[in-house]
């Protein structure tokens, strides 16, 4: 399949998806009856536990065939509430749902606990200009204290990092095997774990929401897990973990992520802004990501990782501007968590991207910061890496500009080109842009790839670096068309090792005067 063919195919798919979702969701709650939680005994004083009152309102509306459950202005403390068929939970302006800080106020669906939950139902939504605040730091620390009080077994506690495992810490939203979902306009804050997870759901619209969750570890902004027909648009996300994450955890291999459209979002993360994986058991395909602004992000602007046995194919990423972000592009095949096979990862277009990489850590001013890297290294390049005999295939990078700080210093860390064989493959290691340690390039490091095109690429370096801009190792069918390398680059711009069928034209090195 050519780049043009599969790009046209997924664009057509998204137009069809948007039309279907409009039809499905547009009429879901016409002329619905309203149920104010105050009428069911809820008290918005920021102290009273209102779980039973809110659930009564939901149950009454569901019993009447569906309706709008109103959260008025006030601070309403609650534990887990369960949405049911035909329910719209609507938060008025100045309405705040506060998560209880007592772990006993939360229940579990499947493997997860959450503040607002739904399981195997349809036609549900959360709307309005109000706030859902999980108070995750207080809740997580309460759970943490239970371990030291002897009330949590050690197998439920991550001793290395000294915090409870994720399954013990409630999310804010958890939707499991649900169809026809809307989450629109609300602000979601301060989770104890992932902020919101949609697992094995179909027909999802997430629109105009704000996620502000820098309160504890594992605060992914949005997790899409084995879902189909998903739109995420016009959202602002500030998260201590990955911003928007596409995952697959279906070990039966019966479901995948398919037909996903993400656009016009702003993301800040102390991990990666947009990420496929690391959990990717089954697969992900037909994904469009466009018009994204990224800032102050610790890891990669774009991370596409087929590392747990699942496949990734037919991905279009375009119109990305990332400022003060630790890494631009990270594509990786691997075998983590006992996966018996790797990949494939194929048919990826990334175009119209500008990334500015700082010399210092980009998330120093935030509460939960990315972890320090133990070994000495100079600033890492973008990378595209498969495994020996398992290649990343059919990738186009077009109209890309990366501004790199440079300052690569042999005396600080040095991997000379004659030792390129010493770069480890690390097939089973957790994937991150920094996983290989010091790398012999500052712009792009590429290994185990077949069918790769670089078109109109500009790599600018601010300070001198001992490394070449681009290194290719075990790369085949490589086409470079218009490459500009700007700045004080001390080495030749491109180095090849075991690379065949190469076409190179219009390579310009513009040295700083």
Q: Tell whether the model's pLDDT for residue 481 goes beyond 70.
A: yes
**Residue 92 resides in a domain:** yes
- What is the per-residue pLDDT for 160? 87
313-323 pLDDT tens trace = 999 999 999 99
Q: Residue 444 — very low, low, confident or very high, per pLDDT cuts 50/70/90?
A: very high
Q: What is the pLDDT of residue 110?
A: 86
Of all residues in the chain, the percent with pLDDT exceeding 70 is: 93
In a domain, 485, yes or no: no
CB 101 within 8 A of CB 142: yes
pLDDT band at 16 (very low <50, low <70, confident <90, very high): low
What string of DSSP letters covers 391-455? -EEEEEEEEEEEEE-----TTT----GGGGGGS---TTSPP-TTTT-S-S-SSEEEEEEEEEEEE
Distances (CA, A) of 321 to 4, 154, 241, 264, 304: 23, 43, 19, 11, 17
| C-alpha dist (Å) from residue 247 to 26, 216, 259, 307 | 28, 21, 13, 11
**Domain range enclosing 128:** 32-134
List the helix and strand counts (H, then E) for the chain.
3, 34
Name which of 25, 227, 232 is nearest 125 in CA terms: 25
Does 52 reside within a domain?
yes
Instruction: Report the share of the chain in percent with pLDDT over 90.
Output: 87
Q: Is 104 helix (H, G, I), strand (E, B) or coil?
A: helix
Query: How many domains does one find in the chain?
Result: 1
Dihedral, 320, 322, 328, 332 alpha carbons, nearest 10: -60
pLDDT score for 419: 95
Q: What is the pLDDT of residues 60-78, one digit of tens each?
A: 999 999 999 999 999 999 9
pLDDT digit string (tens) for 378-405? Answer: 999 999 999 999 999 999 999 999 999 9
Give the model's confidence band at 245: pLDDT under 50 very low, under 70 low, under 90 confident, else very high. Answer: very high
**What's the pLDDT score for residue 25?**
56
| Predicted TM-score (pTM) of this structure | 0.95
Q: What is the mean pLDDT of residues 343-353?
A: 97
The answer as to whether 364 is a domain residue is no
Answer yes or no: is 347 within a domain.
no
Give the pLDDT band (50/70/90) at residue 262: very high
Question: Environment class of residue 354 by beta-carbon count within 10 Å: exposed (0-12), middle (13-18) or buried (19+)?
Answer: middle
| Residue 131 · residue 116 · CB < 8 Å | no
Give the Cα separation of 124 and 122 in Å (integer): 6
pLDDT tens per residue across span 151-183: 999 889 999 889 999 999 999 999 999 999 999
347 pLDDT above the threshold of 50: yes
- Report the CATH number at residue 126: 2.160.20.10
Q: What is the pLDDT of residue 6?
A: 57
The three-class DSSP label of residue 122 is strand
pLDDT at 315: 98
Angle at 368 between CA 130 and CA 310, to 5 degrees: 85
* The pLDDT of residue 490 is above 90: no
Task: Quote the radius of gyration of the chain (alpha carbons, Å).
Answer: 24
Q: State pLDDT tens for residues 422-431.
A: 999 999 999 9
pLDDT tens digits, 23-64:
555 544 456 899 999 999 999 999 999 999 999 999 999 999
pLDDT at 161: 87
Residue 439 pLDDT exceeds 70: yes
pLDDT interval class at 411 (50, 70, 90): very high
Does the structure show a pLDDT above 90 at 14?
Answer: no
Mean of the per-residue pLDDT values of the chain = 94
- 492 domain-assigned: no
Q: Is the pLDDT of residue 509 over 90?
A: no
Position 89 in a domain: yes
Average pLDDT score over residue span 392-420: 96
- Is position 6 within any domain? no
């Amino acid at each position: 399949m050519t780049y043009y063919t599969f790009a046209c195919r997924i664009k057509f798919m998204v137009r069809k998806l948007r039309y279907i979702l409009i039809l499905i969701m547009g009429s879901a709650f016409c002329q619905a009856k309203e149920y104010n939680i105050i009428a069911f005994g809820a008290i918005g004083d920021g102290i009273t536990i209102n779980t039973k009152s809110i659930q009564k309102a939901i149950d009454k509306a569901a019993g009447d065939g569906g309706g709008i459950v109103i959260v008025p202005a006030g601070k309403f403390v609650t534990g887990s509430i369960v949405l049911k068929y035909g329910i719209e939970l609507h938060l008025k302006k100045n309405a705040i749902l506060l998560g209880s800080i007592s772990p006993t106020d939360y229940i579990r669906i499947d493997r997860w606990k959450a503040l607002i939950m739904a399981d195997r139902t349809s036609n549900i939504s959360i709307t309005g200009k109000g706030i859902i605040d999980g108070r995750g730091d207080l809740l997580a620390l309460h759970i943490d204290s239970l371990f030291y009080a002897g009330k949590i077994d050690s197998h439920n506690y991550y001793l290395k990092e000294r915090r409870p495992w994720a399954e013990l810490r409630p999310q804010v939203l958890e939707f499991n095997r649900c169809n026809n979902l809307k989450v629109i306009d609300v602000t979601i804050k301060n989770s104890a774990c992932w902020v919101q997870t949609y697992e094995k759901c179909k027909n999802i619209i997430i629109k105009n929401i704000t996620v502000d969750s820098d309160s504890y570890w594992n605060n992914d902004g949005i997790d899409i897990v084995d879902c189909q027909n998903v739109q995420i648009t016009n959202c602002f996300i500030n998260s201590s973990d990955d911003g928007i994450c596409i995952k697959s955890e279906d070990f039966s291999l019966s479901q995948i992520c398919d037909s996903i459209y993400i656009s016009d979002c702003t993301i800040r993360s102390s991990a990666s802004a947009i990420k496929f994986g690391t959990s990717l058991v089954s697969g992900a395909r037909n994904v469009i990501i466009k018009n994204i602004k990224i800032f102050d992000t610790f890891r990669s602007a774009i991370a596409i990782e087929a590392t747990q046995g699942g496949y990734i194919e037919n991905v279009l990423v375009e119109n990305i501007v990332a400022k003060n972000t630790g890494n631009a592009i990270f594509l990786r095949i691997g075998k983590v968590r006992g996966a018996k096979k790797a990949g494939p990862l194929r048919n990826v277009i990334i175009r119209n991207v500008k990334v500015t990489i700082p010399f210092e850590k980009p998330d120093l001013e935030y509460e939960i910061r990315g972890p320090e890297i133990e070994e000495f290294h100079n600033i890492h390049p973008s990378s595209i890496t498969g495994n020996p005999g398992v290649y990343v295939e059919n990738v186009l990078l077009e109209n890309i500009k990366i501004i790199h700080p440079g300052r690569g210093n042999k005396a600080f860390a040095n991997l000379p080109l004659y030792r390129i064989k010493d770069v480890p493959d690390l097939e089973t290691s957790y994937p991150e842009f920094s996983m290989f340690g010091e790398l012999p390039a500052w712009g792009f490091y590429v290994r185990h790839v077949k069918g790769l095109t670089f078109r109109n690429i500009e790599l600018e370096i601010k300070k001198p670096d001992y490394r070449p801009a681009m290194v290719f190792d075990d790369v085949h069918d490589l086409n470079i068309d218009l490459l500009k390398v700007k700045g004080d680059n001390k080495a030749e711009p491109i180095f090849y090792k075991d690379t065949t069928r190469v076409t190179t034209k219009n390579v310009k090195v513009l040295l700083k005067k």
